[in-house]
């Protein structure tokens, strides 16, 4: 199990060494600290991830740094969320959102087993109405 803290709203000058020094000054322990940087400019994006060895240590880091003042801003610290979207591990489907489950009339994008993948419909199936017949001719 991962005990990772998201540390956000950091000034761009903050480095991993700065965060390690802050943790050491507070007698807090971290296994790793990673400041997230822009790939092109190498400038900090203003957030970091701190890996704690235990849940208790993670909670201590969060309590100490959440809403802590630094320059003219308040830091954010909370448990890190698993990656979403393009950064998510490939081959692992994200669980459906609660909003999707609450909206039964929402458009579904999953593939039905009775339909071909290409085009999203089965062109071999005969139309069921006169309108569908005319529409099938146009398409």
pLDDT in tens, 58-80: 999 999 999 999 999 999 999 99
Q: Could you tell me if residue 115 is inside a domain?
A: no
Residue 97, in any domain of the structure: no
Q: Is position 74 within any domain?
A: yes
Question: Is 129 a member of any domain?
Answer: no
Q: How many domains does the chain have?
A: 1
> 29 lies in which domain range?
4-82
pTM: 0.60
CATH code of 61's domain: 3.30.70.330
- Half-sphere exposure in the Cβ direction for 123 (13 Å, CA): 7
pLDDT in tens, 81-120: 988 876 555 444 445 545 444 544 444 444 445 544 445 5
Q: Residue 14: name the closest of 5, 22, 26, 6 by CA.
A: 22
């Amino acid at each position: 199990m991962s005990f990772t803290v998201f540390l956000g709203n950091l000034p761009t000058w903050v480095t991993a060494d700065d965060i390690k020094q802050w943790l050491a000054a507070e007698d807090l322990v971290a296994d790793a600290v990673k400041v997230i940087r822009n790939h092109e400019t190498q400038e900090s994006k203003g957030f970091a991830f701190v890996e704690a060895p235990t849940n208790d240590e993670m909670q201590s880091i969060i309590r100490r740094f959440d809403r802590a003042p630094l320059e003219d801003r308040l830091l954010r610290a909370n448990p890190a969320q698993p990656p979403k979207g393009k950064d998510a591990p490939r081959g692992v489907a994200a669980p459906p959102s609660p909003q999707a489950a609450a909206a039964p009339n929402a458009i579904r994008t999953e593939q039905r087993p009775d339909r071909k993948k290409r085009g999203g419909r089965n062109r071999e199936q005969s139309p069921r109405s006169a309108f569908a017949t005319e529409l099938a001719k146009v398409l």
